[in-house]
Amino acid sequence: MSDYIVLVKQVPDVSQITDNAFDPETGTLIRTRLASVINELDTQALAFANYMRRISNDDKAKIIALTMGPPMAEEVLRYCLSRCADKVVLLTDRALGGADTVATANPLAFAVRKIVKEFLNNNGDYFVVCGMQSVDGDTAQVPPQIAEELSLPCIAYVTGAEFKNGRFEFTRIISGGSQVVAAKKLPAVITVAKYEYPLFATFFGTRWAYKTEVIQWGNDDINATHIGVQGSKTAVIRVFPPGKSTRKCEQLSNVNDLAKVLVESFKSDNGDSAKAGQSQAARYVLPTRRASLFERNFEGTIKEQQDYKVLTNTLNELGIKKVNEIDDVTRKKILSAVEERFHKRALEDMINGFTLTEPAFKGEVWVIAEHNEGEVHPATFELIGKARELADSLEAKVGVCLAGYDVESMTKELTTAGADNIYVVDDKLLKVFDPTARRKAIADAISTYWPQIVLCAATPQGRMLAPMVSYSVGCGLTADCTGLDIRDSSRRGDIGLLLQTRPALGGNVMATIRTKNSRSQMATARPGVLKRIPPDPSRQGKIINHKVEFTEDDVSLKILKTELGTGDVNFDAEIIVSGGKGVQSRDNYEQLVGALCNGLSKKLDAQIERGASRAAVEQGFVERAHQVGQTGTSIVSKLYVALGISGAIQHMIGVANTETIVAINSDPNAPIFKQCDYYVVGTVEDVVPKLVQALEEL
């Protein structure tokens, strides 16, 4: 009999952002001005737990909801009680505030232990069920880190479950397809990526929810080891508004204009759109190589940066060129010159900072290689390109950690892509990707060689593996970075830090984050965000075999079925026409996508291919090999036409580097309209035939 502990979170409602939610001076979002709601994916996780209880015919199974947050987070627990939860626990304590993912996962895991002991009679047959990620943090790191703290298997990105032969079999999303797996032993953590059968509250349920006790615990009740700001391993050092999209986002009101745009976009050179999101930061130079020690690639709050500038200007005015020229008298002079601006303590910190020239972290810059059936994932090459740039500025080497079975054949390609050293962990038990076994291999290599930076792809595999690895080696991790730069940070003179910039709060703000209390700085980046460097076949690399002992117990999952897209699809074509769930049926997909492909091929001398969203593939409109996106194929076509596609981040990642994006969607508020160049509001059934005719008449 399985019980269920469902993790829920109260989050700001990023779907209802009004103008007054932004600070007029800084342009950043003020979180307190947004309404608070239950994280949508957590409602799906709750419904999923209820579904698991139902399909296993287990009336006695308990569902216990757990949240961590301020007292007002009680609201989300009442939501759970009114639907299906039997008991709810609120973990609330000021000491828990300001936590990053490590300092969130840790107390939650300790609370899970206490729930199991006190409410589940130490029953080891339970599932921790979580939403894949929350809309505010958006990292997907907390559930795998909870699994790591509790030493449990983690099944991420679950979309379905069946109860067969006394156990659950889960369908989950993987790169390139889907997989059916079961946990080898329980308990286990699962993260729900999609379960679209919401639970509704009954009148009786709502009344009961408001009468039932919400159990409250503080940290003294659970004795977690990493909590709050102190226990966090990352710190936000700057928040700023996101840059404007470089896409045109122009609405067209008739199909004749749309036909013209399709033809002209294909013929013109519109390469700039594709360059969105790339970091343009100047190359970092170590302090000892700079013309002046007072020159710092300084990053911090705007006030800190301004203070620093005031100090260097004052030093200039006083004619001071070297740190050892700053004696007590000069300090006094500087202080009186800048007194209005900052205090003695801040000045001391900055002056002491000048004496530091050694980077705060030491070691190589590593990339965790992702691969499948002897093929390296393209995102790994992109990360090596970035690692090369970072390592060159730090005068360090690039290492690649390659764990698997019989992987030697991939080492050459990794070297030509930019790696100096390849750390190979080779074992039969690593043949098929298992998160726990792979984590053991990589964590062991990291804690042996201690690279200063570790980069991992933000693919479904990497977004599960990296949090487990980082938690296991006790290091901070930043998810889905769009910018990775080396900078000196803080007035205390931290030299050569990896500054990790990422979108937060549903892309409404950008945050720059640094690692703290860690030996390695770890980050993930989404596929397509970084650029690979041209391969250099003359490069020579070193292979270092790193031995790790594995037993069958290190493998946590039974893989029952894997479905990967195969087929002859030419995604190098210049034009891709994709159909989404909005095309409604396989017949419509054939007719509409087919007709537009034909219409365009008659007009333009171009290679044209059909694409699809993941939802369209799941609906059976077209074979999986046609899927575009994070877990499908990333494309770089000249023209991308999206029919009935909403514009989910996982889809748009795959088309970020296309030159022109055109969208047709019946919803005037479709998110894709903010991420494309031209769009038409209308149904595909209506617009596409008219568009084909307009193309003919052009």
Ligand X SMILES: Cc1cc2nc3c(=O)[nH]c(=O)nc-3n(C[C@H](O)[C@H](O)[C@H](O)COP(=O)(O)OP(=O)(O)OC[C@H]3O[C@@H](n4cnc5c(N)ncnc54)[C@H](O)[C@@H]3O)c2cc1C
Residues making contact with ligand X (CB under 6 A): 132, 157, 173, 193, 460, 580-582, 613-616, 627-632, 644-646, 648, 650-651, 654, 665-667, 670, 683-685
Min dist. Cβ of residue 93 to ligand X (A): 32
Element (H, E) at 312: helix 302-317
Which residues 6+ apart lie within 8 Å of 604 measured at CB?
Answer: 263, 266, 267, 575
Please name the amino acid found at residue 480: D
Place of tokens 């600070």: 23
What distance in Å separates the CA atoms of residue 650 and residue 630, rounded to the nearest whole number?
5
Closer CB to ligand X, 41 or 417, in the complex = 41
Measure the CA angle with vertex 206, ends 200 and 210; round to 5°: 145
Closer CB to ligand X, 120 or 664, in the complex = 664
Closer CB to ligand X, 326 or 379, in the complex = 379
Min dist. Cβ of residue 686 to ligand X (A): 8
Min dist. Cβ of residue 236 to ligand X (A): 25
Cβ-contact 81, 212 below 8 angstroms? yes
**Is residue 497 helix, strand or coil?**
strand
Closer CB to ligand X, 316 or 585, in the complex = 585
Q: Which two tokens stand for residue 564?
A: 């990967």
Min dist. Cβ of residue 49 to ligand X (A): 18
* Buried/exposed code over 433-444 (b: 16+ C-beta within 10 A; e: otherwise): bbbbbbbbbbbb
Min dist. Cβ of residue 692 to ligand X (A): 15
Concatenating the DSSP letter of every residue in 200-234 gives: ---HHHHHHHHHS--EEE-HHHH--SS-HHHH-SE
DSSP code at position 71: G
Min dist. Cβ of residue 678 to ligand X (A): 15
Q: Which two tokens stand for residue 170?
A: 């889960």
Min dist. Cβ of residue 578 to ligand X (A): 8
CA atoms within 13 A on the CB side of 492: 4
Min dist. Cβ of residue 156 to ligand X (A): 8
What does residue 632 show for φ and ψ, rounded to 5 degrees?
A: -115, -130
Closer CB to ligand X, 437 or 653, in the complex = 653
Closer CB to ligand X, 22 or 571, in the complex = 571
Closer CB to ligand X, 51 or 308, in the complex = 51
Cβ-contact 391, 469 below 8 angstroms? no
What does residue 216 show for φ and ψ, rounded to 5 degrees?
A: -115, 130
CA atoms within 13 A on the CB side of 316: 9
* Buried/exposed code over 591-627 (b: 16+ C-beta within 10 A; e: otherwise): bbbebbbebbeebbeeebbbbbbbbbbbbebbebbbb
* Buried/exposed code over 150-164 (b: 16+ C-beta within 10 A; e: otherwise): bebbbbbbbbbbebe
Closer CB to ligand X, 10 or 646, in the complex = 646
Min dist. Cβ of residue 642 to ligand X (A): 8
Closer CB to ligand X, 47 or 209, in the complex = 47
Q: Which two tokens stand for residue 583?
A: 């095309």
Min dist. Cβ of residue 564 to ligand X (A): 13
Q: Which two tokens stand for residue 190?
A: 């699962």
Please name the amino acid found at residue 150: L
Taking Cα atoms as reference points, which of 521, 563, 564, 550 lies closest to residue 434? 550
Q: Which two tokens stand for residue 332?
A: 């006094």
Min dist. Cβ of residue 163 to ligand X (A): 23
Closer CB to ligand X, 193 or 403, in the complex = 193
Closer CB to ligand X, 173 or 575, in the complex = 173
Min dist. Cβ of residue 172 to ligand X (A): 9
What distance in Å separates the CA atoms of residue 350 and residue 308, rounded to the nearest whole number?
8
Min dist. Cβ of residue 530 to ligand X (A): 18
Min dist. Cβ of residue 525 to ligand X (A): 16
Give, to the nearest 10 degrees, the angle between helix 594-603 and helix 255-267. 60
Which residues 6+ apart lie within 8 Å of 316 measured at CB?
Answer: none
Closer CB to ligand X, 202 or 585, in the complex = 585
Q: Which two tokens stand for residue 627?
A: 């899927």
Closer CB to ligand X, 77 or 158, in the complex = 158
Closer CB to ligand X, 44 or 452, in the complex = 44
Closer CB to ligand X, 24 or 567, in the complex = 567
Cβ-contact 606, 574 below 8 angstroms? yes
Cβ-contact 109, 142 below 8 angstroms? no
What does residue 534 show for φ and ψ, rounded to 5 degrees?
A: -60, 135
Min dist. Cβ of residue 117 to ligand X (A): 33
Q: Which two tokens stand for residue 406?
A: 């019989």
Taking Cα atoms as reference points, which of 133, 42, 39 lies closest to residue 84? 42
Cα–Cα distances in angstroms (integers) from residue 118 to residues 66, 85, 193, in the given order:
14, 16, 30
Closer CB to ligand X, 593 or 670, in the complex = 670
Min dist. Cβ of residue 466 to ligand X (A): 14
Taking Cα atoms as reference points, which of 350, 345, 348 lies closest to residue 307? 350
Which residue stretches of 566-610 are H helix? 586-588, 594-603
Q: Which two tokens stand for residue 387?
A: 């690692």
Min dist. Cβ of residue 634 to ligand X (A): 9
Closer CB to ligand X, 104 or 633, in the complex = 633
What distance in Å separates the CA atoms of residue 555 and residue 630, rounded to the nearest whole number?
26
Cβ-contact 498, 365 below 8 angstroms? no
